[in-house]
Copies of this chain bind each other. A is one copy, B any other.
Amino acid sequence: MYTTQAWAKAAADSDFKKIDIQRNLCGEEDVTFAVKYCGICHSDVHVAEDHLKPVRSTNYPCVPGHELAGLVTEVGTKVTAYKVGDMVGVGCISDSCLACPTCNTGNEHACQAGMTGTYNGETKHGHIATDKSWTFGGYSNSQTVHQRFIIKIPPGFPLEAAGPVFCAGITMFSPLKEWGAHRGGLRVGIVGIGGLGQMGVQLARAMGNTVTAISTSPNKKAVAKEIGADTFVVSTDPESMRAAAMSCDLILNTVSVSHELGTYLPLLAMRGTIVQLGVAMNAHAVYQLPLMMRKLRVTGSTIGGMLETQECIDFCHRHKIVPRIKLVTADALLDIYKMLNSKNDSVVRNVLDIEASK
């Protein structure tokens, strides 16, 4: 074990405090890197504030963060793909069994023994450890993981903007591929133009689709168009919604607070699909007649496996897609959490600047 620092919550309602934590030393298959930046995801808030209880309650101290980007400081003796100084990252997954058929086909996130999340994950597979029985995330100076969970950041890609690709990016990339948008030619709607949504708009556009940005905030129109949206719909404006009726083949819904997915069904064309992506805990009231008449599909998706995550950042680099970010320091964390809990009224992902934080 080695000691490093991290910003942690001691309880759901406490402030963030810098504490010492222990991580496993760099084993023969491991990579250790200095975390330089860590994106702040809405899921961080859900876990750090224990919103997912009783489904999965949070262990404290809790160190959130699963959008890590940094520079390699040490590699294990069996590691050949990475060397000291390389730009690397870690996303939502930090361990899995690495033995089941699901892991072995690049779907570590769906590991049959249950993947270990980058924070608040049970350290049960033996490739990662802390001084507790759960993982500590990326609001930290250093991280060590098995090389299988390392993502290579393409040289030239801005390090500070890489982290959000491993969570927000892959969360949009995976369902776009799953539902055929990577071949282009679809009409894709993106609900929620925040951290995830801005990636969805850019990815869907780069894949050759027409894109409708759907938001409750009329003031996001300009930026949505700037990043590639062809059409902008204000979901709280009945007129705007009517004008877009049945105009989407695929909708990616990033809303991460309680809502009714039925709101968006009128936007779907015949055989249209809505993919729920946010951690919304409410029950949606779904009537089956509209699904039947237009063969609509309601589904969901979370992140993606390691291969697909690598593919995602490589795609972003090739198409010059860079998440719009804002660098923040640790003393701003509580305010950002408050903003994410109410309404994300900006189209940028907040990214924690580790070195600039105290």
Contacts and interface: CB of A to CB of B under 8 A. Distances in A.
Interface of A: 55, 110, 178, 261, 270, 273, 276-302
A292 B270 contact: no
Given A283-B287, A284-B285, A288-B276, A302 B298 contact: no
A63 to B, nearest CB: 23
Nearest to A280: B288
Nearest to A102: B270
A300 B270 CA distance: 11
Max count, chain B CB within 10 A of own CB: residue among A291, A292, A296, A298: A292
Contacts of A282: 287
A283 B261 CA distance: 12
A137 B280 CA distance: 45
Given A276-B292, A293-B302, A296-B299, 9 more contacts: A261-B288, A277-B292, A278-B288, A280-B288, A286-B286, A291-B300, A292-B302, A293-B300, A295-B299
Contacts of A110: 270, 294
Contacts of A273: 297
Nearest to A273: B297
A interface, over-half SS: mixed
Contact of A299 (B261, B277, B281, B291): B291
B283 A285 contact: yes
Contacts of A291: 276, 298-300
B288 A286 contact: no
Contacts of A278: 288
Contact of A283 (B280, B286, B296): B286
Contacts of A178: 295
A289 B43 CA distance: 13
15 contacts: A178-B295, A261-B286, A277-B292, A283-B287, A284-B286, A284-B287, A284-B288, A285-B286, A286-B298, A291-B300, A295-B300, A295-B301, A296-B299, A298-B298, A298-B299
B302 A299 contact: no
Given A110-B270, A270-B110, A289 B297 contact: no
A298 B295 contact: no
A116 B37 CA distance: 61
A283 B273 CA distance: 19
A270 B288 CA distance: 22
